[in-house]
Amino acid sequence: MQVIGLGNDLVNIERIERSLNRYGDRFVNRIFTEVEQAYCDGKAVRTSNYAKRFAAKEACAKALGTGFAQGVFWTDVGVVRDEHGKPSLRLTGGALKRLQDMTPDGMVAQLDLTMTDDHPWAQAVVLITALPAHKSAL
């Protein structure tokens, strides 16, 4: 296994709440995927769930080494959950292309995500590793 990217981000939940209140759907649609919106809007703790996903996107953009530039857009990075509720990342567009470009030949990238919140903070850490193609978990 080889570490090829690491990102961390800390977000103030109240800042996300202000953006949600001020910009509403314009903010939500610009930043979050439909899957993320469906998950967050169905929760009683809507704002903290959006904040954790915002932090996850920022952490992933840092791990990719691009930030939200060079063709990587907010909605190219999406937080999804498996059947047990474990969060992970689904990359599309420019984020997926960047991941493919940074993955060494003969290896497959694996993205690991952890998120947490303790009001007023939400945090996410993203670790990108490269595994030999025959040992890939993907």
User: Which is nearest to 21 in space by CA: 1, 50, 56?
Assistant: 50
Binding residues for Mg(2+): 9, 58
Three-class DSSP category at 43: coil
- d(CA 55, CA 103) in angstroms, rounded, equals 23
Binding residues: 9, 58
User: Which is nearest to 47 in space by CA: 66, 68, 24?
Assistant: 24
- d(CA 94, CA 91) in angstroms, rounded, equals 8
Q: What DSSP state is assigned to residue 65?
A: T
For helices 46-64 and 34-41, give the axis angle rounded to 10 degrees.
150
